[in-house]
Amino acid sequence: MKKTDKPQLVKVGNHFINVKDVSAITKINGNSERGRLYVVRFISNPNPEYTCWVGEKDIQFLLEQFNIIVGD
């Protein structure tokens, strides 16, 4: 039997996210008890019924998976 490539999942807080499925990451203004919150949006689910919320301390590893270009 041929071994199939498995998709890579990144553990982000309580979520396991496929980096290739991420369409946007948005920082939400305001503070919660755990710091700033981020919303992760997915290509496969552009209008999610349940939003994927990620805390500030957990988002950094996900952000490191991307080549982020910062404009002027």
Query: pLDDT tens, 13-54?
Result: 999 999 999 999 999 876 666 678 999 999 998 787 888 999
The pLDDT value given to residue 3: 77
Give me the number of domains the chain comprises.
1
Range of the domain at 42: 9-63
Under DSSP, the state recorded for 64 is: T
41 contacts 24 by C-beta, under 8 angstroms: yes
Residue 4 lies in a domain: no
The pLDDT value given to residue 13: 92
**Average pLDDT over every residue of 9-15:** 93
Query: Residue 19 is encoded by which pair of tokens?
Result: 């980096």
Which CA distances in Å does 51 have to 3, 38, 65, 70?
34, 10, 21, 25
Residue 68 lies in a domain: no
Residue 59 lies in a domain: yes
Residue 70 lies in a domain: no
The pLDDT value given to residue 5: 84
Residue 1 lies in a domain: no
